[in-house]
Amino acid sequence: MNFKRFTSIFRYFSWADPIYRWRIIKGDCPLCGKTFFLSFKANPFLTRCLRCKCNITNLSLIPVIKEHSKGDYNKSAYELSSYGCTLDFLRRHFIKVQASEFFPGSDLGQLKDGILNQDVQNLTFPNNSFDIITSNQVFEHVPDDIKGFSECHRVLRTSGAFIFTVPLYDTPETIRKAVLMDNKIIFHGEPEYHDSRLDGAKSSPVFHRHSINDICARVKSTGFSIVELRKVVIAKSQGEPQHVIYAIK
């Protein structure tokens, strides 16, 4: 395990409850089946399947993908990450799966260390390329999230689904935390960073705090015909439902 990954894990456990409050319960993992879940806290992000090690926030996309697909996996899917349980599920079931990361300063549409480089604000894929696009906790880090939503709409086929999670806050509207000007990040107020599995703790700047009250409207403004918030409960010990945005072209 590299040092960057270790720093992210260390910060993850800093959010956990004291060990005497941890809970283990039986349940059904949408990726690996019958299992036990361990909750470090009554929170989807801090509740994990003990078989596949995935947290509920990431696992929560899978039931929505299954519902949309209705057992027909003869489709093309794109995940905006090169790792994670959503990608594992897509690769096990869909006939064609693309994955990517964003490497600033490298050529878009090219491989870097074996991983496709894509900027969701400027995807290199042709129109109508995919049946499903998924992402976990990505769009809060996209400088122009609306442009990113629009690009996902462009590369989806008609009736295709865009299924994703972002941290959602109960604010009247989405709050812009930072802007990108001349390749420099300008924060509005206190800088905020999230962790990255690839780059470690506090490595990903936050550009938006998305509101639960306007996220559907923001996505729908880019052309999607239907946008819904799905509440997903996988383990009772997760405390609260995980909200998943489900958009249809």
Whole-model pTM: value is 0.95
Q: Is residue 196 part of a domain?
A: yes
Asked whether residue 7 is assigned to any structural domain, the reply reads: no
pLDDT of residue 13: 86
Domain hosting 81: range is: 57-248
pLDDT of residue 3: 61
Give the CATH number of the domain where residue 68 resides. 3.40.50.150
Indicate the number of domains in the chain. 1
Q: Between the CA of residue 50 and those of 23, 36, 40, 106, 136, what are the distances in Å? A: 12, 6, 12, 37, 20
Asked, for residue 112, whether it belongs to a domain, the answer is yes
| pLDDT for the residue numbered 204 | 87
Chunked mean pLDDT (size 10), the chain, 249 residues? 66 91 97 97 97 97 98 97 96 97 95 96 98 97 98 98 98 96 91 76 86 98 98 97 98
Please check whether residue 243 is in contact with residue 212, taking contact to mean a CB–CB distance below 8 angstroms.
yes
Residue 175, classed as helix, strand or coil, is strand
CA distance linking residue 70 with residue 90, whole number of Å: 14
Per-residue pLDDT reduced to its tens digit, 175-188: 999 999 988 999 99
Identify the pLDDT of residue 195: 75
Q: For residues 44 and 40, what is the distance between their CA atoms, to the nearest angstrom?
A: 10
Q: Please report whether residue 20 resides in a domain.
A: no
* Per-residue pLDDT, 14: 87
The answer to whether residue 135 is domain-embedded is yes
The reply to whether 26 falls in a domain is no
Tokens of 199: 């780059």
CA angle 105, 111, 113 (to 5 degrees): 85
The whole-angstrom separation of Cα 237 and Cα 133 is 29
